[in-house]
Amino acid sequence: KGLQAGCDNHASQCEIVGGDLASGDQLVIAVTAIGDLDQPNPVLRSTAQVGDLVVVAGTLGKAACGLDLLRSADKTLADSYPEYVEIQKRPIPDLVLGMELSRIATSMMDISDGLSLDSARLARKSNVTLRLERRLLEGYAAVLEQAAQSINSRVEGSANQWDWVLHGGEDHSFLATVPPGAKLPRGAKVIGRVDHRAENDIYLDDQPLAAAGWDSVTG
């Protein structure tokens, strides 16, 4: 019912047609989506241009924060920050915002495995380097600072809001590059720029940023 409700909300003509049946100790759900593109020329992750601005549409770090709250030994913490827990448990990507952004984007992909990892993937595919700016990301980290402090004050841990923003996954937001001067849709924010290919895929304030996040093969 939950899967069908999600389809009804985001793709009303999409139907669940079947699946494999098996027994086991854990619930495993594998989904294959099949469909057609409405336009002949999709926006790819391999077409970023030098001089473009790097843009994010959606949240950064909130899902990773929610996961740490759920994993915390202090189970009352999750109740203190329901917004982040809900984003982790039931992500709702802003598909309308994504479609608006795609109309002006030179390249684009989702951020489901972490900003640093997915930025590196886009940079490699486009043969460019992405230079991100901490000051442009500070707003994402600032809203998570209190949650990080709460986790660290109640349990032994090293929760860090910047780790969530840069490397946390499952926000299901959008990463794009757009030409300078492009009018961004509301909800999209510039976080850096595209530069000629350098030694590293991504930099944060001119310092190399190691890509970290979720890799479906290595974990």
Domains of the chain and any CATH numbers: 41-208 (3.90.650.10)
- Its pTM stands at 0.87
Instruction: Count Cα atoms within 13 angstroms, Cβ side, for 167.
Output: 12
For the cut 70, the answer to whether the pLDDT of residue 64 exceeds it is yes
Whether pLDDT at 205 is above 70: yes
The predicted pLDDT at position 154 comes to: 85
Lowest mean per-residue pLDDT among 8-12, 78-82, 113-117, 162-166 = 8-12
Mean pLDDT of 113-133: 98
pLDDT at 41 over 80: yes
Identify the band that residue 197 occupies on the pLDDT scale cut at 50, 70 and 90. very high
pLDDT at position 219: 58
> Residue 108: its pLDDT value, please?
98
User: What pLDDT was estimated at residue 184?
Assistant: 98
Q: Which amino acid is it at 94? A: D
34 or 144, greater pLDDT: 144
Res 31: pLDDT:
80
- The reported pLDDT for the residue numbered 177 is 99
| Distances from the Cα of 179 to the Cα of 104, 126, 137, 146, 159, angstroms | 8, 15, 20, 35, 36
pLDDT, the chain, mean: 92
